[in-house]
């Protein structure tokens, strides 16, 4: 996921990652790669550098400008800044996300129906007033605000509450 708009447009779920943009996530230490891969990556990095990929703000503030360091796919993704309530979306496609969204990682594994009902519950009940509103009506949900959202327990979610 590279844009919040993708989450707003997804509805309840992202089923297919093939429609999303691709992100190349290389390790910080390129010496861990075998010689054949390293040669291809070195060519890629020369091209990327010639296009200025190493000069942007984010790239210049990374340990290695080429290493995005994506996290594991989150089962649920949520936007965190908008002039409306956040979008909560199932990530059935197992898409990895940039910092345009928060990943929600349940502390235990839940069956699909429970996660379905959790997303439905969040989409219906979370209001902009639960986030921080800035001038102009822009609302931001910091990780702590998302953590404070009360949700029904797994037993209730299993029953569709």
Question: What element of type H or E holds 133?
Answer: strand 132-133
Q: What is the DSSP letter of 82?
A: E
Q: Are residue 120 and residue 110 in the same domain, yes or no?
A: yes
Percent of the chain with pLDDT strictly greater than 70:
100
Q: Are residue 56 and residue 8 in the same domain, yes or no?
A: no
Q: Are residue 56 and residue 85 in the same domain, yes or no?
A: no
Q: How far is CA 87 from CA 1, 28, 121, in A?
A: 13, 32, 12
- Give the model confidence (pLDDT) of 24-59 as tens digits: 889 999 999 999 999 999 999 999 999 999 999 989
Domains contained in the chain, number: 2
- Give the model confidence (pLDDT) of 60-102 as tens digits: 999 999 999 898 999 999 999 999 999 999 999 999 998 889 9
Contact 74, 103 (CB under 8 A): yes
Q: Are residue 130 and residue 63 in the same domain, yes or no?
A: no
Q: Are residue 119 and residue 132 in the same domain, yes or no?
A: yes
Please tell me whether the overall predicted TM-score, pTM, comes out greater than 0.95 for this model: no
Q: Are residue 98 and residue 148 in the same domain, yes or no?
A: yes
Whole domain around residue 40: which residue ranges?
A: 24-69
Q: Are residue 77 and residue 52 in the same domain, yes or no?
A: no
The answer to whether the Cα torsion of 99, 102, 103, 107 is positive or negative is: positive
> DSSP E strands: which ranges in 44-115?
76-79, 81-82, 88-90, 101-104
């Amino acid at each position: 996921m590279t844009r919040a708009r993708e989450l707003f447009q997804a509805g309840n779920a992202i089923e297919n990652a093939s429609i999303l943009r691709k992100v190349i996530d290389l390790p910080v230490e390129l010496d861990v790669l075998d010689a054949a891969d390293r040669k291809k990556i070195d060519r890629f990095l020369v091209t990327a550098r010639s296009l200025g990929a190493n000069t942007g703000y984010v790239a210049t503030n990374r340990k290695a400008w080429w290493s995005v360091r994506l996290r594991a796919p989150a089962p649920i993704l949520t936007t965190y800044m908008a002039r409306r309530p956040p979008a909560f979306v199932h990530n059935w496609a197992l898409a990895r996300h940039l910092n345009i969204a928060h990943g929600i990682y349940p502390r235990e594994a839940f069956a699909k129906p429970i996660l379905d009902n959790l997303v439905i519950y969040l989409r219906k009940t979370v209001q902009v007033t639960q986030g921080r509103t800035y001038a102009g009506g822009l609302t931001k949900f910091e990780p702590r605000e998302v953590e404070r959202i009360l949700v029904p327990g797994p037993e209730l979610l299993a029953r569709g509450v």
